[in-house]
């Protein structure tokens, strides 16, 4: 199978430790984290993805807002520049240990955080990165 992620969730997966908007969201994300840790490929998509799924039934889900699309575009640009490859909807990404290490190093240094401005989780993600990513749930073997 393949995990469908929007571009900014490539950043979110770096620091996911099991916290989220509500229990359904967190349980869903934990399942996705397990799949990514086991090496399932990522298909980048435009708009709501597998992470967003539990939020879509709520009133005015933030996953559908223009600000999230701006966040996706910023994440795609910064990750593309870092990796030297086109990161955009339709691209496939293999979440292996080398990729996640590269992304986490750049994330901790601020090099790919342009999409994080204004995100309610930014402080938590900064703390996780500053603690060498202790407790993260997306952690494929080398």
For residue range 97-120, list pLDDT tens digits in order. Answer: 999 999 999 999 999 999 999 999
pLDDT for the residue 59: 79
pLDDT at 30 over 60: yes
- Averaged pLDDT for residues 82-88: 95
pLDDT at 85 over 60: yes
Confidence of residue 121 (pLDDT cuts 50, 70, 90): very high
Do residues 33 and 13 make contact, with C-beta atoms less than 8 angstroms apart? yes
pLDDT for the residue 136: 96
pLDDT at 138 over 80: yes
Q: Rounded CA gap, 117 and 115, in Å?
A: 6
Structure tokens that stand for 103 in this block: 């992304």
pLDDT for the residue 142: 53
Helical ranges in the chain per DSSP H: 9-15, 23-37, 66-83, 97-108, 122-130
Q: What is the pTM of this model?
A: 0.94
- Averaged pLDDT for residues 24-48: 96
Q: Rounded CA gap, 53 and 55, in Å?
A: 5
């Amino acid at each position: 199978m393949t995990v469908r992620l929007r571009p900014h969730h490539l950043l979110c997966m770096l620091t996911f430790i099991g916290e989220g908007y509500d229990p359904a969201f967190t349980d869903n994300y934990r399942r996705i984290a397990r799949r990514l840790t086991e090496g399932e490929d990522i298909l980048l998509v435009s708009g709501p993805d597998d992470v967003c799924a539990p939020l879509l039934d709520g009133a005015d889900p933030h996953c559908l807002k223009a600000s999230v699309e701006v966040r996706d575009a910023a994440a795609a640009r910064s990750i593309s520049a870092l990796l030297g490859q086109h990161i955009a909807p339709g691209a496939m990404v293999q979440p292996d240990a080398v990729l996640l290490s590269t992304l986490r190093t750049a994330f901790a240094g601020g090099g790919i955080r342009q999409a994080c401005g204004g995100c309610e989780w930014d402080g938590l993600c900064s703390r996780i990165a500053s603690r060498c990513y202790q407790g993260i749930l997306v952690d494929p073997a080398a």
